[in-house]
Every structure is written in C-alpha cells, then in structure tokens.
C-alpha cells in the first residue's frame, strides 16, 4: 500500500507540472481573431498632447523672458541683468542718457542676424520650440506580450517642434522609471485592453536636451551660444558707449558690456531652470485599448492600430491629457 501511495503521489505531481500553459482564450489566434506574437517586441509610438485647460500656466511662465525679448530685446536684457549693475550704470550716465539706452541697444541688436534671422525672430522660435516641447511629444517604446506576462518599456522621447524630429534617449536619471508590466486581455476581433501603468520621467532635463538640439539644428549652437553671438555684447557696448545726446555721451563701455553679458546669461539660465523644473513624476497610462491586425493570415498580430491611452500627467498638478498609440513588428 505504501508503494502504491508513492506512485499515485508522483503521478499527481507530474500532472501538476504538465499543466497547460496559459492562453489568451478559446477561439483566438485566427486571422479574424489574432493574438500577439509571443515575446516579440512591438515598436510602439504614443503621442501625448497637453492642450487647453490641461496646459499649466507654468509653461508660458517658463518662456516669459524670451517672449519679452522678442518684443523689446533691450528691455528684456536690462530686466534680466543684475539689478545693481543696471542701476549703477544708469546712475553713472545720468537720467537723460539712461532714457535713451534701450532704444540705442535695440538698434544694435536688431542689426544682427544668425542663420538669416534677427534676434527677435530667434527668441520667437525659442518660445515656440519650448512650449511645443513641453506640451506635445511622442514616446517610443517596446511592448512584449505573452499570456503570462506583458512588458512595456519606454525607449526615449521624440520632440517635433517647428517640424523638426528630435529624439532624446531616456534612462540613467533618478526620476526615470521606464518599465511596467500591465495586465493584458485579448478579445474577439483582435481587441486588446492593457491595464494600469505608472512611469516616471525626469522630463524637464530631457526636454531641455530636446530644446538645445532643436535650436542647434536651426542656428548651429544652443540657446546661450546663439543669443551671445547675436547680441554680441562687445560690439553693442562699443557702439552704445559712443552714442551722444546733446553734449553728453554715454561712455562706460566696460559697464555696458558687463550689463549686457549679465542679461544674456540670466535669460538663458532662467529658461533652463524653468524647463528642467518640469518632472513627470506621475505619468500614468490608467488603461489602453487597441486592435490587433493580422496582415498575413497566420493568426498573429503584425501591427496594433487605433490605440488609445487613458492618461494622467503631473507636469505641475495632476491633469488628464489625450494620448494615442500605434505599434508594429
């Protein structure tokens, strides 16, 4: 009896070990009802659009300095520069000449062009690039699926301001949480539903890299370099120092140069700090729906169409933003 019991116990273990692997369900895996190809990394592109009331005011605040520069470069430079240096300069040259200072500075700034554009046009481009980068972007990722496990991994961020195509890799920063394992349900007609996913992205740092690459593509160097080249504080200071009104001349070339350089640095630094302050510490796909498409009739999906994410983004406060996705082998 003991021998027989042992044999029966062994048989029971063997049956357990040979249990059928999980499947997506009966009747699936046909051309009409395709399923994902096991362990294949589908290339996914998700489009994120933060629009309307979902755009936090901090997005426009981030570009306030450059917006002001596009309208009145000299006023923006003096407002951004070290206030003590600006006040000392105005005191030294007197109120009459100080009242003419912005106009003379603007005359010199408006003479310059970089990549065929004036500095006002450059500032307008920077504003457009920055606001587009912060509110409209694409997330390339990979999606691997089996009945037992699904893995979704972000691979980068794709920014497309002013019709450019800028890809910034992600990963390596503390805030980056790039891999999730959502639940997956497959139904008739290739309908799939993906469960909750919570990512984290050091978004501001990656966005600044994207802005820098976009500006460099258009102007040959980044924001600081282009602004410094176009404004050219040495040339500006020399020209403005030689200006006279009635019998009084400005002079103070070295002070003018220092104030100008201070303003250029502060404008760029402020834009940089405002952008990198944006972190997607909450970036959530609460659910996703899409349709598997079988192109060759083998019952396995060759692409994924009509993908929609129900998304929550915390740029500053928690907001919902529409998101679409597609995928292919």
Alpha-helical (H) ranges within the chain are 2-17, 57-62, 64-71, 73-80, 83-93, 95-109, 119-135, 203-219, 223-231, 233-241, 253-276
Query: Residue 281's pLDDT is what?
Result: 67
Query: Token pair for residue 177?
Result: 């949480």
Report how far Cα 293 is from the mean position of its chain's Cα atoms. Answer: 30
Q: Assign 3-class secondary structure to 116-156.
A: CEEHHHHHHHHHHHHHHHHHEEEEEEEEEECCCCEEEEECE
Model pTM score: 0.88
Reported as a single tens digit per residue, the pLDDT across 143-177 is: 999 999 999 999 999 999 999 999 999 887 777 88
Query: Residue 19's pLDDT is what?
Result: 64
Decide: 215 and 162 in contact? Cβ < 8 Å: no
SS3 21: coil
Decide: 73 and 84 in contact? Cβ < 8 Å: no
Q: What is the mean pLDDT, run by run of 10 residues, along the chain of 329 residues?
A: 36 52 91 94 94 86 97 98 97 95 97 97 98 94 96 95 95 84 97 95 93 98 97 98 94 97 98 90 88 97 96 79 91
Q: What are phi and psi of 127, to 5 degrees?
A: -60, -45
SS3 250: coil
Q: Cα(120)–Cα(138) distance, rounded to whole angstroms?
A: 29
Query: Residue 56's pLDDT is what?
Result: 85
Q: Which of 309, 79, 284 is nearest to 198 (CA)?
A: 284
Query: Token pair for residue 76?
Result: 């923006």
Q: Which of 273, 317, 287, 280 is nearest to 54 (CA)?
A: 317
Query: Residue 18's pLDDT is what?
Result: 58
Query: Residue 9's pLDDT is what?
Result: 39
Q: Which of 194, 183, 191 is nearest to 28 (CA)?
A: 191
Q: Cα(200)–Cα(176) distance, rounded to whole angstroms?
A: 5
Report how far Cα 65 is from the mean position of its chain's Cα atoms. Answer: 20
Query: Residue 318's pLDDT is what?
Result: 74
Contacts of 211 (CB under 8 A, 6+ apart): 126, 129, 130, 133, 159, 161, 223, 275
């Amino acid at each position: 009896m003991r021998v027989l019991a042992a044999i029966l116990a062994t048989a029971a273990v063997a049956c357990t070990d040979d249990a059928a692997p999980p499947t997506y369900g009966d009747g699936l895996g046909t051309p009409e009802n395709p399923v994902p190809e096991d362990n294949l990394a589908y290339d996914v592109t998700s489009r994120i659009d933060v629009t309307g009331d979902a755009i936090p005011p901090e997005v426009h605040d981030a570009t306030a300095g450059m917006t002001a520069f596009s309208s009145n470069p000299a006023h923006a430079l003096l407002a951004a520069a070290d206030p003590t240096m600006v006040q000392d300069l105005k005191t030294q040259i007197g109120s009459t000449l100080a009242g003419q200072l912005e106009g003379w500075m603007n005359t010199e700034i408006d003479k310059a062009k970089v990549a065929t554009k004036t500095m006002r046009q450059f500032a307008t481009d920077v504003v457009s690039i920055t606001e587009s980068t912060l509110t409209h972007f694409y997330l390339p990722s990979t999606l691997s699926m089996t009945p037992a496990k699904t893995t979704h991994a972000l691979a980068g961020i794709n920014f497309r301001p002013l019709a450019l195509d800028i890809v910034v890799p992600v990963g390596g920063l503390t805030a980056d949480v790039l891999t999730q394992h959502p639940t997956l349900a497959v139904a008739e007609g290739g309908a799939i539903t993906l469960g909750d996913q919570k990512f984290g992205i050091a978004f501001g740092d990656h966005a600044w890299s994207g802005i820098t690459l976009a500006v460099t593509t258009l102007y040959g160097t980044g924001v600081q370099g282009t602004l410094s080249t176009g404004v050219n504080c040495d040339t500006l200071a020399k020209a403005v120092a030689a200006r006279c009104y009635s019998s009084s001349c400005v002079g103070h070339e070295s002070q003018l140069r220092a104030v100008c350089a201070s303003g250029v640095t502060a404008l760029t630094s402020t834009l940089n700090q405002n952008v990198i302050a944006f972190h997607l510490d909450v970036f959530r796909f609460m659910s996703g729906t899409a349709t598997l498409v079988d192109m060759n009739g083998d019952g396995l999906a060759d692409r994924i169409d009509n993908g929609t994410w129900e998304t929550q983004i915390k740029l500053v406060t928690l907001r919902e933003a529409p998101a679409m996705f597609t995928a292919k082998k």
